[in-house]
Amino acid sequence: MRNTRKRVWKRFSYRECDAMKEYLEQMAEKGWYLKKLGAWMVFEQGIPGKLRYAVHVFVKGSEYDRKPEEDTEELIACCEAAGWKFVCNYGKFCVFCTNDDSAVELETDEEIRFSVIQKEESKKIWFYFLCFAFFFVITLRQIFLDSNLLFDNETVLEAGVLFLMFLNGSIDLFEGKRWAFKIKKHLQMGESVHYSRYPLWLRSIDHICFWICILYFIVQALWYDNAIGFIGFFTWFGITFIVISVINRLQPSRENHQLFVWSSIFWGPLLYVVLSFALQSAGTISKNEEVLPGSFPLAISDLSDETVKEEVLYGEYHSGWFGSKLYCALGKEDDVYAALHYEVIESRFSWVLDHQWKKEYDESVYEETEEQIWGAERAVKRKTYGADMYLLRYPDCILVFQFDGEITPQVIENTREKLKIN
Distance CA 22, CA 307 (A): 87
CB 57, CB 120: distance < 8 Å:
yes
Q: Is residue 291 part of a domain?
A: no
Whether residue 410 sits in one domain with residue 309 = yes
66, 98, 130 - which closes a domain: 98
Residues 82 and 217 occupy one common structural domain: no
Question: pLDDT, tens digit, for every residue of 255-277?
Answer: 777 777 777 666 666 666 666 56
**Dihedral over alpha carbons 333, 336, 339, 340 (to 10 degrees):** 100
Please indicate, yes or no, if residue 289 is contained in any of the structural domains.
no
- Residue 103 domain-assigned (yes or no): no
Q: What's the pLDDT tens digit per position in 344-371?
A: 999 999 999 999 999 889 888 899 888 7
Residue 320's pLDDT is what?
86
Specify whether 90 is located in the same domain as 116.
no
Identity of the residue numbered 224: Y
Low-confidence ranges of the chain (pLDDT < 50): 1, 283-294
Radius of gyration in angstroms for the set of CA atoms belonging to the chain, rounded to a whole number:
32
On whether both 213 and 260 belong to a single domain, the answer is yes
Contacting residues for 297 by C-beta, under 8 A, at least 6 apart: 326, 418, 419, 420
Q: What pLDDT is stored for residue 317 in this prediction?
A: 87
Rounded to 5 degrees, φ, ψ at 395 are -55, -40
pLDDT of residue 221: 63
Query: Residue 145: what pLDDT?
Result: 84
Q: Is 31 left (phi over 0), alpha (psi -120 to 50) or beta?
A: left
pLDDT at 62: 87
Same-domain pairing of 138 and 253:
yes
Reference 130, options 179, 178, 181, 172; nearest CA is: 172
Query: Is residue 295 situated within a structural domain?
Result: no
* 69: containing domain: 5-98
Residue-level pLDDT at 153 = 81
pTM greater than 0.75 (yes/no):
no
Q: Do 117 and 77 share a structural domain?
A: no
122 and 89 together in one domain: no
Q: What's the pLDDT at 75?
A: 92
Predicted pLDDT of residue 373 = 87
- CA torsion, ordered 233, 237, 240, 241, to nearest 10 deg: -170
State how many domains the chain has: 3
Q: Are residues 37 and 63 in the same domain?
A: yes
**Phi then psi for 178, rounded to 5 degrees?**
-65, -45
- Please spell the DSSP secondary structure of 214-236, one letter per residue: HHHHHHHHHHTT-HHHHHHHHHH
Name the domain boundary from 98, 130, 154: 98
- Same domain assignment for residues 233 and 146: yes
Question: Residue 364: its pLDDT value, please?
Answer: 86
Within this chain, do residues 253 and 304 fall inside the same structural domain, yes or no?
no
Query: In this structure, are 126 and 275 located in the same domain?
Result: yes
pLDDT of 275 reads 63
Of 227, 249, 281, which residue is a domain's last?
281
- Whether residues 267 and 147 share a domain: the answer is yes
Residue 195 confidence (pLDDT): 92
Q: What's residue 8's pLDDT?
A: 92
